[in-house]
Amino acid sequence: MGMFTESIEVARAANGMPLRVSWQGQDYRLAAEPQRWFERRKWWDENLRIPRGIGAGIADYEMWRLQLVAVRGPQQVHSVDVSFDAQTERWRLVRVHESLARSA
């Protein structure tokens, strides 16, 4: 498993659930229902203080585990973790897990 951060494009439904991903010039569809959780942001490393009343998302950030299959090309399933920043509405790829063997 590799851990890093890279900007990606995520198309999502009205309820915020990821639907499709574009990454490194390749389009992917979801192979399974995404899993969502929240992780504590290390605000003490990012800022000296969190301003009062800034809103939701400053202390925690939204994470999603996605099972992706390329729209074109090999049908190998890739498991990735992405984060969503509600303030900037940007998606970041933070972990790429070992590719999963596609069950036939």
Q: Where are the beta strands (DSSP E) in 1-104?
A: 2-12, 18-23, 26-30, 35-40, 60-70, 77-85, 90-96
Query: At residue 43, what are phi and psi to the nearest 5 degrees?
Result: -65, -25
pLDDT tens digits along 53-77: 555 556 677 999 999 999 998 888 9
pLDDT tens digits along 8-25: 999 999 998 999 999 989
Instruction: With beta carbons less than 8 A apart as the criterion, state whether 91 and 11 touch.
Output: no
What is the rounded distance in angstroms from the CA atom of residue 64 to the CA atom of residue 68? 12
> Which pLDDT belongs to residue 4?
59
The residue type of 67 is: Q
Residues of the chain with pLDDT > 90: what percent? 47
